[in-house]
């Protein structure tokens, strides 16, 4: 039987709070047999947290947000080439990303960009390529899905609600960056359990 433990971490990026989830999964004898999964939106600040504090964890780029970003990027392509070609391009790219074929996906994006005349649509694809390239280590989902590992945004959305919304977005509240970042960090520690909370204040 597998057990799963989740921890929540928070960060403030460009004045906007961001939250990620670290998932610990293992069977008998864990944490020695545990698999630590860092599930993230892919923001630079969260990647830095992964590399600094959770470098042994399996990095996973959130599948829901990757697909959503892909759909948004292809709106400019749809405006020039129509919905049928765009749907075909989306399905091809989605499948390549699902199976972790990042180089093939980047090559396909280059070809799509070359078919565009509008500068804004071309820039959107270039930005999405940079996003994929920066998070390529967390892309590839078929084997994770088969193992029952979280690949979607459910844990992240819930963590964001618990850590940020229920504390910082109450009626009449306003925050400065430094104070919001501090309160979100304290909130994350508190939500990670009483023992973690006590240990924090004892150190």
pLDDT digit string, tens, across residues 15-57: 454 555 555 454 444 455 567 888 888 888 888 888 888 888 8
- Residue 188's pLDDT is what? 84
Do residue 74 and residue 133 come from a single domain? yes
Q: 76 near 116, Cβ under 8 Å? A: yes
Task: Assess if residue 43 is contained within a domain.
Answer: yes
Output the pLDDT for position 120.
Answer: 95
- The pTM assigned to this predicted structure is 0.71
Q: How far is CA 55 from CA 22, 50, 51, 59, 191, in A?
A: 12, 6, 5, 9, 22
Whether residues 57 and 156 share a domain: the answer is: yes
More confident residue, 65 or 103: 103
* Domain co-membership, 92 together with 125: yes
Question: Of the candidates 102, 137, 172, which is a domain's last residue?
Answer: 137
Q: Which domain holds residue 119?
A: 64-137
- pLDDT at residue 160 tops 50: yes
Output the pLDDT for position 123.
97
| Helix pair 102-114, 75-98: axis angle to 10 deg | 160
Residues 6+ away with beta carbon under 8 Å from 86: 74, 77, 78
Q: Two tokens at 74? A: 């292809």
Looking at the fold, whether 84 and 112 belong to one and the same domain comes out as yes
Q: Per the domain annotation, does 163 fall within a domain?
A: yes
Question: Are residues 117 and 55 part of one domain?
Answer: no
Task: Kindly state whether residues 33 and 55 are assigned to the same domain.
Answer: yes
Q: Which range, of 3-7, 26-30, 103-107, 133-137, averages the lowest pLDDT?
A: 26-30
CA dist 142 and 98 (Å) reads 6
Q: From CA 179, how far away is CA 47, in angstroms rounded?
A: 22
Q: Are residues 55 and 23 in the same domain?
A: yes
Tally of CA atoms within 13 A in the half-sphere of 53 that contains its CB: 9
Q: Which of 133, 184, 187 is nearest to 11 (CA)?
A: 184
Cα atoms found within 13 Å of the Cα of residue 96, Cβ hemisphere only? 18
Q: Would the pLDDT of 6 be above 70?
A: no
More confident: 180 or 111: 111
Which range, of 9-23, 103-117, 155-169, averages the lowest pLDDT? 9-23
Q: How confident is the model at residue 190, as a pLDDT?
A: 85
Per-residue model confidence (pLDDT) at position 7: 54
User: Pick from 41, 22, 31: which is nearest to 3 by CA?
Assistant: 31
Residues 85 and 126 in one domain: yes
Total domains in the chain come to: 2
Instruction: Decide which of 104, 137, 170 is a domain's last residue.
Output: 137
Is position 166 within any domain? yes
């Amino acid at each position: 039987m597998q057990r799963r433990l989740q921890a929540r971490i928070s960060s403030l990026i460009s004045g906007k709070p961001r939250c990620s989830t670290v998932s610990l999964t293992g069977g008998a004898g864990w944490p020695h047999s545990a698999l630590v999964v860092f599930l993230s939106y892919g923001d630079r600040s969260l990647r830095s947290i992964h590399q600094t504090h959770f470098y042994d964890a399996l990095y996973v780029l959130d599948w829901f947000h990757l697909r959503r970003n892909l759909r948004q990027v292809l709106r400019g392509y749809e405006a020039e080439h129509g919905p049928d070609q765009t749907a075909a391009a989306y399905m091809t790219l989605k499948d390549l990303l699902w199976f972790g074929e990042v180089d093939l996906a980047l090559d396909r994006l280059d070809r799509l960009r070359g078919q565009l005349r509008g500068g804004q649509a071309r820039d959107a694809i270039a930005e999405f390529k940079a996003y994929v390239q920066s998070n390529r280590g967390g892309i590839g989902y078929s084997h994770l899905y088969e193992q029952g590992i979280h690949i979607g945004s459910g844990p992240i959305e819930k963590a964001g609600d618990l850590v940020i919304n229920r504390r910082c977005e109450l009626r009449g509240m306003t925050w400065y960056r430094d104070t919001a970042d501090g309160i979100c960090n304290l909130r994350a520690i508190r939500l990670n359990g009483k023992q973690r909370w006590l240990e924090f204040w004892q150190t």
